[in-house]
Amino acid sequence: MPDTSTTILPYATRPRPNWSAVVASQQAVLAILILVEISIFSFTGTNFFSRDNAFETLRQSLEVGLLAVALTPVIVTGGIDLSVGSLMGLTAVIFGKLWRDAHWPVWLAAAGALGVGLLAGLLNGVLITRLRIRPLIVTLGSFSLFRGLAEGVTRAVDNFTGFPESFTRLGQGYLFNVIPVQLIVLIVISIVFWAFLHRTTIGRALVAIGFAPDGARYAGIPVNRRILLVYVLSGFVSSLAAIVYVAHWGQAKADAGTGYELLAITAVVLGGTSIFGGRGSVAGSLLGWLAIAVLQQGLTLSDLPKELGGILTGVLLIAAIVVNQLLSSFTSRRRGAQ
């Protein structure tokens, strides 16, 4: 087949990938990967194949799942948010400070923390939309700034503990003795984001913006407002993830969420969302998240080092993009005259 990637063909006959087939096939590959992982770890891991462990797997990585869902619309618009993990750290310590040092009631402190997340997302969004700076460098800067502020506020050593049981139930409690409470949070957020991205006109607009920003602008979409919205939402969900994290581990430290941004981005890309924007799927991101969560839990139960998990995640990220590209070129077909 001739290399058509650089030839200028008439628009109608240019081979275009069948995007829905690409996304569906990528998710099928992902589902198979998850099944393979489960099979392998059922053999090598102690007590892996059990209902309790299934819930525990979800519970351990839940914060990453929240981040992955929130990052999906961001990446769909062609942007990226590297600061989500660091924002978790900042929100966690501010939450701790409001509760312990300013003596706010714990749920008010949580609300305050969510406010911080909104403001942080606003900062990212304003720099990206008003000043037209590339999301990459803005969020690289805020990635450093947020973590740095968290370390500064706690003098790099302070640690907030002793939260009331009514609060830690959120991260350590179980409904009907089986379902982790925080899973409900993830389910609610996932449904909201799924509806937002796939069932509203705003969500459609996001896809258009990622596919062709100028085209979206000419179509009358308020591009800046939409982009600002996704970064604000990302900040909000990051702070929500931080609150779940603090409830889960019972302590608020400046290093909360370290490395989570990589896991979240990998989950999103694994799920079929294009890193270039223009197509994406919340369901896919959840599948990608599952693949990573099962991998991490499986390695822990098989007594393998967690560094191996990190390496495999990096490899998965690269593999996901390569597979995505291959699927796109395989499902390409000419439309029109021929």
Partner 1 sequence: MTARHFLRRYQREISVAAAYLLLLLVLAIRAPRFFASGEMKDIFVSAAPTLVAAIGMTLIILARQIDISIGAQLSICCIVAGILSQRNWPIPLVAAGTMVAGLAMGAANGLLVAFINIPSIVATLATWVILLQAKKWWNQGEMIKGLAPDFQWFGLNQTAGQWAVVIVAAVLFVLFAAAVRYVAAGRAVYAVGSDAEAARLAGIRPRRVTFTVFAIMGVLTAVAALLAAVRLPHVDPKTGEGGFELQVIAAVVVGGVAISGGRGTLIGVLVGVALLGTIRSALVFLGSQAYWDKAIQGAIILLAVASDAFYRRTQ
Site of interaction with partner 1 (CB under 8 A): 80, 127, 131-134, 136-138, 140-149, 151-152, 155-156, 259, 262, 265, 269, 275-276, 305, 307-311, 313-315, 317-318, 321-322, 325
Q: Between β-strands 251-252 and 160-161, what pairing exists: parallel, antiparallel or unpaired?
A: antiparallel
| Closer residue to partner 1 in complex, CB, 63/151 | 151
**Residue 299's closest CA among 1, 44, 92?**
44
Q: What are phi and psi of 3, to 5 degrees?
A: -75, 105
The type of residue at 176 is F
CB 299 within 8 A of CB 38: no
CB of 243 to partner 1, least distance (A): 22
CB of 322 to partner 1, least distance (A): 6
CB 301 within 8 A of CB 53: yes
CB of 5 to partner 1, least distance (A): 10
Bridge partners (DSSP) listed for residue 174? 180
**CA distance linking residue 218 with residue 210, whole number of Å:** 14
**CA distance linking residue 189 with residue 286, whole number of Å:** 11
CB 79 within 8 A of CB 230: yes
| Closer residue to partner 1 in complex, CB, 151/163 | 151
The type of residue at 69 is V
The CA-based dihedral angle spanning residues 244, 174, 71, 17, taken in that order and rounded to the nearest 10 degrees: 170
CB of 120 to partner 1, least distance (A): 12
| Closer residue to partner 1 in complex, CB, 28/308 | 308
| Closer residue to partner 1 in complex, CB, 305/336 | 305
Q: What are phi and psi of 180, to 5 degrees?
A: -65, 140
CB of 306 to partner 1, least distance (A): 8
| Closer residue to partner 1 in complex, CB, 185/242 | 242
| Closer residue to partner 1 in complex, CB, 15/173 | 15
CB of 24 to partner 1, least distance (A): 22
| Closer residue to partner 1 in complex, CB, 50/325 | 325
User: Phi-psi region for residue 250, left (φ > 0), alpha (ψ -120 to 50) or beta?
Assistant: left
CB of 277 to partner 1, least distance (A): 11
